[in-house]
């Protein structure tokens, strides 16, 4: 597996991130989850914004990340019921 040096301001010296890694933030459509998603994107992570019912909130989080130059997508689902669509 290829890795790249982390260069963002909050990176831990000497740590590495796998090439192509994506951070999955459940509950990323609002509140702490949205803030975590934006912070990860600011640190250079590609982010998957998970949501259960607030697609508009997830889209807003993705939009804010993309406006800041980051990469993000939204993913709907319920982590408590993985067998349901």
Q: Encode pLDDT of 15-66 as tens digits.
A: 777 888 999 999 999 999 999 999 999 999 999 999 999 999 999 999 999 9
Tell which residue, 28, 36, 39, 42, has the closest CA to residue 76.
Answer: 28
> Which pLDDT score is estimated for 85?
63
pLDDT at 1 over 50: no
> Dihedrals φ, ψ of 65, to 5°?
-65, -45
How many Cα atoms sit within 13 Å of 49 on the Cβ side?
A: 33
> Which pLDDT score is estimated for 19?
86
Q: What is the dihedral of CA 37, 27, 76, 6, to 10 degrees?
A: 30
CB 29, CB 54: distance < 8 Å: yes
């Amino acid at each position: 597996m290829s890795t790249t040096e982390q260069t963002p301001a909050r990176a831990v010296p000497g740590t590495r991130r796998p090439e192509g890694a994506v951070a999955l933030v459940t509950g990323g459509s609002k509140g702490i989850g949205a803030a975590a998603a934006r912070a990860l994107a600011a640190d250079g992570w590609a982010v998957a914004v998970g949501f259960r019912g607030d697609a508009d909130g997830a889209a807003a989080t993705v939009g804010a990340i993309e406006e800041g130059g980051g990469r993000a997508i939204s993913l709907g689902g319920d982590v408590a019921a993985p067998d349901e669509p």
